[in-house]
Amino acid sequence: MKGLKNKVVIITGAAAGIGKATALRFAEEGANIVIADFADGSAAVQEVTAKGVQAVYAQVNVTDPESVKAMVAKAIEVFGKVDVLINNAGITKDAMMKKMTKEAWDAVIDVNLTGVFNCTSAVLPHLLAQKAGVVLTTSSVVGLYGNLGQTNYAAAKWGVIGMTKSWAKEMARHGLRFNCVAPGFIATEMVKKIPEQVLNEKILIKVPAGRLGEPEEIAAAFAFLASDDAKFINGAVLSVDGACTL
Ligand code: CAA
Ligand code: NAI
């Protein structure tokens, strides 16, 4: 991919799953990485640095604006700049609407929607000052089409698409780009929580590709959207879902 070498990339939720695969992919492209996660990211840092680039772990809770500010300050302290933010931290608290508690609603909105607002707010002054930068966010097939048991998650994942499109309209003229990737069902810890019967008989059966996606397949989409190859792509949602929405 064009233009990723020596870029500084903050990836939230990078200790595991899609975020970690994305960190490794950007490292292969020659970028330096901030592994930002609530959970311990030291193993991810080791794997990234083994690829010959620099990486640092920032412990962050994306729901806490002060913690997010400290994450961005660490990136600036270590690398002197931020070029790309990937808003990827996310959780599920699934329940059918009739059983969904306000607590489950708040928890998912706080991480998956407000967390994206917090992280983007914190990097924005740096991106605007350098008149260049890319913010990418992990939406979901569920944000585009809804899903049983995911009122909270669907609202957040649709919400980040609206935010992304608004930011593209506001800030394209300042040289900034904002896009989402909408993964289908991907083989990570998140999907392991789906009851086996539901996964096999209700979800996988509808995926023409006939399988879960791999985290690396989402990482490739992020690498493309962050690269100069995508320099006229702004406010877009790239579905990477094995055709499960057709
Ligand atoms: N798609 C289709 N049907 C589903 C479904 C789904 N996602 N989830 C549940 N159902 C069906 C069940 O198969 C069941 O059907 P039958 O009555 O025909 O057996 C019916 O809905 C009721 O389900 P449960 O008996 O399991 O009801 P429950 O109240 O005990 O549990 C639930 C409800 C918590 C939603 C549970 O079913 C569940 O966890 N479902 C999976 C929800 C899901 O798809 N989550 C995605 C997580 S991964 C992710 O979010 C990443 C991403 O972006 C894609
Ligand atoms: P995962 O559970 O493997 O990784 C999520 C990471 O986010 C974890 O390392 C976790 O510690 C971190 N995290 C959670 N809350 C946090 C917080 N408050 N602050 C900082 N970090 C926090 O899950 P996965 O699958 O890699 O998910 C990554 C993103 O992809 C999420 O936004 C998820 O909603 C999205 N997604 C996942 C799909 C899938 O099928 N796995 C499909 C579509 C979207």
| Atom 27 of ligand 1, residue of closest alpha carbon | 96
- Other Cβ atoms within 10 Å of 125 Cβ, number: 11
Q: State what percent of residues in the chain have pLDDT above 90.
A: 99
Residue at 153 is within a domain = yes
Report which of residues 1 and 34 the model is more confident about. Answer: 34
Q: Ligand 2 pocket by C-beta < 6 Å: which residues?
A: 12-13, 15-19, 37-39, 60-63, 88-91, 111, 115, 138, 140, 183, 185-186, 188-191
Q: Give 148 Cα–ligand 1 centroid separation in angstroms.
A: 6
Mean pLDDT for 73-99 is 98
Give the total number of structural domains in the chain. 1
Mean pLDDT for 50-67 is 98
Alpha-carbon distance 91 to 167, whole Å?
Answer: 23
Alpha-carbon distance 213 to 111, whole Å?
Answer: 23
Helix ranges restricted to H, the chain: 17-28, 42-49, 65-79, 102-109, 115-130, 141-145, 151-171, 189-192, 196-198, 215-226
Mean pLDDT for 68-86 is 98
The minimum-distance atom of ligand 2 relative to the CA of 20 is 26
CA within 13 Å, CB half, 37: 23
List the catalytic residue out of 26, 57, 153, 222. 153
Q: Give 83 Cα–ligand 1 centroid separation in angstroms.
A: 38
Residue at 246 is within a domain = no
> Which residue type occupies 243?
A
Residue at 214 is within a domain = yes
Residue at 245 is within a domain = no
pTM, 2 dp: 0.98
Q: Can you give the pLDDT at residue 74?
A: 98
129-174 pLDDT, tens digit each: 999 999 999 999 999 999 999 999 999 999 999 999 999 999 999 9
Mean pLDDT for 226-244 is 97
Residues with Cβ within 8 Å of residue 187, at least 6 apart in sequence: 212, 213, 214, 215
Backbone phi, psi, residue 107, to 5°: -60, -45
Instruction: Give the number of the ligand closest to the Cα of residue 180.
Output: 2
118-131 pLDDT, tens digit each: 999 999 999 999 99
3-state secondary structure 160-227: HHHHHHHHHHHHHHHCEEEEEEEECCECCHHHHCCCHHHHHHHHHHHCCCCCCECHHHHHHHHHHHHC
Mean pLDDT for 6-15 is 98
195 in ligand 1 pocket by Cβ < 6 Å?
A: yes
Q: Can you give the pLDDT at residue 245?
A: 87
The minimum-distance atom of ligand 2 relative to the CA of 187 is 41
Q: Give 107 Cα–ligand 1 centroid separation in angstroms.
A: 19
Residue at 122 is within a domain = yes
Alpha-carbon distance 233 to 18, whole Å?
Answer: 22
Residue at 68 is within a domain = yes
Domain containing 194: what range?
8-240
Give yes or no: 153 in active site.
yes
Q: Can you give the pLDDT at residue 34?
A: 99
Beta-bridged to residue 180, according to DSSP, are 137, 237
Domain holding 185: CATH number?
3.40.50.720
